[in-house]
Amino acid sequence: MKRLTLLLAVVAVSACAPSVTTTTSPAAATASVERMAKDVQTVASDAFLGRGPATPGEELTINYLVAQLKAAGLEPGVNGSWFQDVPLLQADIVGAPSLTVNVAGKRMDLKQGEQIAVRASMRNVDRVTFTGPLVFLGYGVKATERNWDDFKGADLRGKIGVVLINDPDFETGQGDFGGKAMTYYGRWTYKYEEAARQGLNGLLIVHETAPASYGWPTVKNSNTNTMFDIVRTNPAEVHPPLEGWIQRDFAVELFRAAGQDFDALKRQAQTREFRPVPLGDATFAANYTVTSRTIRSKNVLGRVPGTTHANETILYGAHWDHLGIGPPDARGDSIYNGAIDNGTGIAAVLELARLFKAGPRPQRTIVFAFWTAEEKGLIGSEYYAANPVYPLETTVAGFNIDALAVTGRARDVLVVGSGQSDLDDRLKSVLAASNRVITPDPTPEAGYFFRSDHFPMAKRGVPMLYMDSGIDLLVGGTAAGRAADTEYRRDAYHQPADNYDPAKWSFAGIADDVNILYAMGLQLANSRDWPNYRTTSEFRPARDKSASSRK
């Protein structure tokens, strides 16, 4: 009955105002809270063992995903298969690495995890051993479109660079790098990639809490552990032989011993005129053994083919993996179920797949991707971006969903990395239809836009939206939204307690957001539009390079 009433209303409107098009009305989509609750309940159950890649939990997870996609009537997304094989390189340092600085006749032995945190090499080598001069390279940034080059053509081959974290205008708050907000030039992944391009033997990033946005324990834990990467044809293109961080106190001491002043050099580094500064006669020596092996996991992809522009793609994605089995918590629970992170994202993308299959067939192709190994460093999505099944040049836009709130309906949605692309404007107008608004990225200085699965595509120029749950709740407003977020981060995030809880949870807000994402994707799918990054974005040049392949 209800459906019939709606249909009559649409017909009536069309008759009065024939110029109004109703084909992309958000009313066409109605996400089901029941279906999504069941998806989360299933993938976050103990039977799925925390969905660790290359564990029995993977088998259960990917089979469940395929069963759901098949039941919804989707086509396999990878040339007739549901799976994209993802080989992961896993590397560990064996024992305590020998790491030494010699400066002005003084020898400093560095302890892994204390003054320094060195990552296991991801170049598929058995041993890292070298000695080289240390040189300070400012923020380690080469940004042609901003007329900025910290290297000034210096010959850096064989040297060990020391750089600052974040970008050159973080401390002053104004300049060509978005002020306080972090551009990609501020992220450590960029700094290692640039170091490889510069031919450096190694790069040490000076840790400071405010510009890094996290403390030394985070640096220590994530860098002295097992490292993961995709298997690359030429890892030397993105990884210098040595990658690591040093504590600020140690950097200050090293600079002083080399006859330099850390703070004075930092101020120089905030200017365009900065040039590389050799740290006196300081040399850095490293010697350690590395073991590497390859493990295998899978991305899962399904699609709804487009009618008239099937070779143009809109991508929805969420990571299926979580942390697996780990150290037990106080209650003895050792299964990291990942119900919110990212059971909710899995459920949302499955539901989007069902909606697109059930609704009017779109003109462009819609692809639904479930990435592996996000928790190990965006591995599945990076593998896809490096080996795309659908060409990135003709991927119209993409949407990433990672950990949605189960706190009920909100007046807003959050956009992580707001201001990057004109997808913001499209989202704004779709939201307006239901009187909702965008809350801009609350912590742009932390660079969260560079830390989830849309990023490997974004870096290569594909316009990507990372929309997250709003905080201005219909019941309780922003106070309630913030409190719930704080509670989740404290009590459940990346802990065994991230469990499905039907008594406390509401999927109503998630359903609203899925409807918004559906409407946005359908609108793009039935248009000839090509969204893009704004001219101020560091990702605009990468997109514009392939402009001729988009008509």
Where along the sequence are the contacts to Zn ion (CB under 5 A)? 341-342, 402-403
Compare residues 202 and 345 and give the one whose CB is closer to Zn ion.
Answer: 345
Rounded Cα distance, 367 and 399, in Å: 10
Compare residues 150 and 321 and give the one whose CB is closer to Zn ion.
Answer: 321
Angle at 375 between CA 117 and CA 188, to 5 degrees: 40
Q: Which residues of 320-359 are buried (b: 16+ CB within 10 A; e: fewer)?
A: bbbbbebeeeeeeeebbbbbbbbbbbbbbbbbbbbbbbee
Smallest distance, Zn ion to C-beta of residue 197, A = 29
Smallest distance, Zn ion to C-beta of residue 319, A = 6
Pick from 513, 524, 359: nearest CA to 425:
524
Compare residues 244 and 470 and give the one whose CB is closer to Zn ion.
Answer: 470
Smallest distance, Zn ion to C-beta of residue 340, A = 9
Compare residues 93 and 403 and give the one whose CB is closer to Zn ion.
Answer: 403
Rounded Cα distance, 322 and 44, in Å: 10
* Count of beta carbons in the 10 Å neighbourhood of residue 112: 19
Task: Name residue, tokens 């080469």.
Answer: 142
Compare residues 305 and 377 and give the one whose CB is closer to Zn ion.
Answer: 377
Smallest distance, Zn ion to C-beta of residue 237, A = 27
Pick from 489, 301, 283, 522: nearest CA to 403:
489
Smallest distance, Zn ion to C-beta of residue 473, A = 22
User: In this structure, are residues 82 and 301 in contact, taking their beta carbons and an 8 Å threshold?
Assistant: yes
Smallest distance, Zn ion to C-beta of residue 452, A = 7
- Cis-peptide, bond into residue 311, ω within 30° of zero: no
Smallest distance, Zn ion to C-beta of residue 444, A = 19
Compare residues 299 and 537 and give the one whose CB is closer to Zn ion.
Answer: 299
What single-letter DSSP state applies at residue 155? Answer: -
Smallest distance, Zn ion to C-beta of residue 372, A = 12
Compare residues 103 and 373 and give the one whose CB is closer to Zn ion.
Answer: 373
User: In this structure, are residues 300 and 146 in contact, taking their beta carbons and an 8 Å threshold?
Assistant: no
Angle between helices 508-525 and 423-432 (to 10 degrees): 120
Compare residues 74 and 404 and give the one whose CB is closer to Zn ion.
Answer: 404
Tell how far CA 465 is from the center of its chain. Answer: 11
Rounded Cα distance, 61 and 458, in Å: 27
